[in-house]
Structure 1
Amino acid sequence: DVLNEFEDQKVVEIIRRIPDLRYAKHLKELMTYPEDSVGSIMSSELVKVYADMKVEETLEYLRVRAEQDNTSFYYLYVVDRAGLLAGVVGLRVLITSPSYMAISDIMKPDPLSINHLDDKEAAADMIQKHEFLSLPVVDNTEKLIGLVTWDDAVELIEDKLTDEYFTSSGVSSEDFETGELLSGHPVTSIKSRTPWLMFTLLGSFVTVWIGNFYTETIHTLPVLPIFIPLLGGMGGNVDTQSSALIVRGLATGHVSLSNALGYIIQQSLIGLLIGLLIGLIVSGTVAVTMGNPWLGVIIGGSLLVNMTVAAAIGTLIPLAFKQYDIDPAIASSPFISTAIDITGLTIYFGLATMTLHFLLAA
């Protein structure tokens, strides 16, 4: 990754100065792979044994190998005479097996592997999901050519989470890593942060227009604006929870677009039930403290509808972004919060306007 930041000629000079010829050759091989591929991060230093070797022979080979270099290994990868991946053997299994047994008898056949041209984040996800210490890498012919270690996976996952965090906040992670956002020129920070703020500003203008549209209702019943923070806060929390579940599920592979409708229905139902519970509590509290049962019904009903819609939107938008190859993490940004503010106010003032004569009578 560091070498990719330099020009080609500079990279050649750096590699040429490396005294370890084997390591220099390995770097040259890595540089031939696309930056986001598994091949760009794999290590070619691994321990391969043949399936027809005996346990005793293998242990002796490991002793000799340990004297020659300091290669660390967690598993022994088993190949056939053509170099094709055939199985894997853990060190504990090898050490505790009778010396006369063949590796083919103690190995776990057909281990999970990944192609050298696959996305490197897929390798990190596999290692995390299956709790591997390393993952074998094969070429298009299933020949074993390297491995991705747990350390590499952890670094990739940390980078991915960092990118998701900044993306969801509408800030460039690249600008943060270069230090431009914290200690760089103010103009750089302004350019990075302003676009999302402008979108939020536009959404705020819409909410102001909604409030202005219902001015007559507000003048008739001035108590209504008091409960706007309550509605916005509860709706915002529900949509944040739903969008966080979907965004993370999409990133880890636990959520697929093939069942998008099912996720939307599920989260909407959850929002409905939570809204019903919260709505009943708020409705009763408002009816008692404000002395107006109809006001409690309106606020409780608004919460019920708003939280249901918030859960649906928090689920729908990340799935829609994924469908059109837009980073779903953006859906956790002010984009979705602004949408909830607009729908929440419309629902609240709309219900209040429709039932205004009941509110006044109470």
Structure 2
Amino acid sequence: MDQKQQLLLDTVKKLIRRGAYSNLSKVIGKTHPADIAHLFPHLTPKEQQTLFNLIEDTETAASVLSELDYVSGAQLLEKIGQEAISEVLQEMPYDDAVEIIRNMPEEIAEEILSTMKDEHSEEIEQLLKYDEDTAGGIMSTEFFCLPEETTVQQAIDALQQASDVEMVFYVYVVDRHNHLVGVLSLRQLLMVPPSRRLKEIMVTDVISVRTNKDQEEVAQLVERYNILALPVVDEWNKLVGLITVDDVIDVLREEATEDIYKMAGASEEELLYGHKSFKVARLRLPWLITNLFGGIITGYLMWRFRMTLEAVIALITFIPVITGMGGNVGGQSATIVVRGFATGNIDFSTLRKVFFKELRVGMIMGTVCGMTVGLVAYLWHHNIYLGLVVGLAMVSAMTVAATMGVLAPSFFKRMGIDPAIASSPFVQTANDITGILIYFGTATLFLAYLH
């Protein structure tokens, strides 16, 4: 947070604390909606509600909500009257309003839709039919298109009158049946004679997506082709919506946040519960229980190798090193692969290459770390065979962990499950188990030389 934003936050908190609401309203009136929205994560729920209720202009309130995450926006709206909720939602772009409604309790959402004006509720209900993680779920139905027979001069006149459209980056061209047939940039439109028809100058190779396209793939398309907006068509190639670059930024942020939560063995649902510790703990417990049973399995394996451990008690010294390094290497590889799948830089056609690359990296890092820890073992316990066992186990454990970091996300991806789950504590535990097996298995093979 920069100095200006920190000053604004301090001022807002001080005015709320003093109950100086008239002064606070004046401050809000002079502040950009995006700056107001930026304050909310730093306020308590009570302060958030107070601040939001003091936003008198409905359009400003709608702009603030559009800048917030949808969970927080829904929670703020739930605490005001339904008439007020409807007024605010009607000022928002339909795609943002849909996301807010999706995060409200079902009974409240239904009441709000019945309260809203027919034209707004119909548009929102139409968007609610699509899955929220698809192109249809994030698209805006407010877009600008023109018939292919339109002249350039008519198109320019129509653009000047299109005040109800949120953003116009391109002019989409449709035939008489509303099929998407072409696209024009605004620059192209201004560089040709006014009498030309759009069908004569339009680009017919239009990059578009179907309504059921996954939002992550939509974001990858926008990034790949460096476009500011992407038209959405139905199964008959009829233009039904538009996804703009601000929607794509939201998708990228949402997907990245989701992956980070899953890598940590947590869930984005935690945002719904705020400071409700028991509910948050309930969401985290499944992953920790997985770790718990993984630890029990690791302990069981050590028990099965107890004869080896009793014979050479010095082996206990390097258990944390073997398991810890394996977990770290596996986590690194898994994170790289998960991110590669998310950005489109890795797919199943390049997976073989990635696998062997990580295999080589694991062997190189394992060799360096194995030689280091093997030397430490020899100098510490004065047994060259113990150093050899620890070194070999380290090389093997880190190599296996690196390959597992590739295979686990790929398996989940193939099964249609978010591969980010593969970087969770579940895989860390799996690497602990394989590390113990490798370490004590190697020690057992060399047991005669370790006494």
Instruction: State if a TM-score over 0.5 links the two structures.
Output: yes
Amino acid at match of 1:44: T
* Match in the other structure for 1:41: 138
Give the C-alpha shift of residue 331 in structure 1.
1.6
Give 3-state SS (helix, strand or coil) of 2:240's partner: strand
- The aligned length equals 353
Q: 1:314 aligns with which of 385, 395, 405?
A: 405
2:392 and 2:216 mapped to 1: Cα distance? 44
Query: Where in structure 2 are the equivalents of 1:209-220 lying within 5 Å?
Result: 209-220=300-311
Local SS of the residue matching 1:45 = coil
Does 2:254 match 1:159?
Answer: yes
Q: CA RMSD in A?
A: 3.0
2:219 to 107, 124, 127: 124
Report how far residue 344 of structure 1 moved: 0.8
Task: Report the Cα offset of residue 310 of structure 1.
Answer: 0.6
Query: Residues 142-163 of structure 1: CA distance to partner in whole angstroms, max 9, x if unpaired?
Result: 1112101222222233222323
- Supply the distance in 2 between the matched residues of 1:12 and 1:200 (Cα, whole angstroms): 41
**Residue of structure 2 aligned with 1:295, choices 386, 391, 395:** 386
TM-score between both structures, scaled by the size of structure 1? 0.84
SS at match of 2:432: helix
Q: CA deviation at 1:248?
A: 2.8
| TM-score (structure 2 length as normaliser) | 0.69
Aligned counterpart for 2:318 among listed residues 227, 242, 254: 227
Query: Which residue is 1:60 aligned to?
Result: 157
Secondary structure of 2:237's aligned partner: coil
Distance in 1 of aligned mates of 2:139 and 2:378: 65
2:443 aligned with 1:348: no
Counterpart-to-counterpart distance in 2, 1:192 and 1:71: 38
2:98 maps to 1:4: no
Runs of 5+ consecutive residues of structure 2 not aligned to the other structure: 1-98
Q: Which residue is 2:36 aligned to? A: none
The whole-number CA distance in structure 2 between the counterparts of 1:292 and 1:100 is 91
Q: For residues 251 and 3 of structure 1, what CA distance do their matches in structure 2 show? A: 27
The DSSP-based 3-state class of the residue aligned with 1:72 is coil
SS in 1 for 2:162: helix
Cα distance change of structure 1 residues 8 and 194 upon mapping to structure 2, 3 Å threshold: closer
User: Using a 3 Å threshold, how does the CA distance of structure 1 residues 15 and 277 change in structure 2: closer, same or farther?
Assistant: same
Distance 1:295 1:50 in 2: 80
1:330-349 → structure 2 map (5 Å cutoff)? 330-349=421-440
1:288-334: CA deviation from partner (whole Å, max 9, x where unpaired): 66654433332221111111111122222222233333332222112
239-248 vs 33-42, greater mean Cα deviation: 33-42
Q: Tell me what 2:267 maps to.
A: 172
2:218 maps to a residue whose letter is A
2:335 to 244, 250, 255: 244
TM-fit CA distance, 1:258 = 6.2
1 CA distance for matches of 2:158 and 2:123? 23
Q: CA deviation at 1:47?
A: 1.6
Q: Does 1:86 align with 2:177?
A: no
Report the counterpart of residue 276 of structure 2 in structure 1. Answer: 184
Task: Point out the more displaced range, 230-239 or 153-162.
Answer: 153-162
- Confirm or deny that 1:110 pairs with 2:205: yes
Correspondence for 1:276: 367
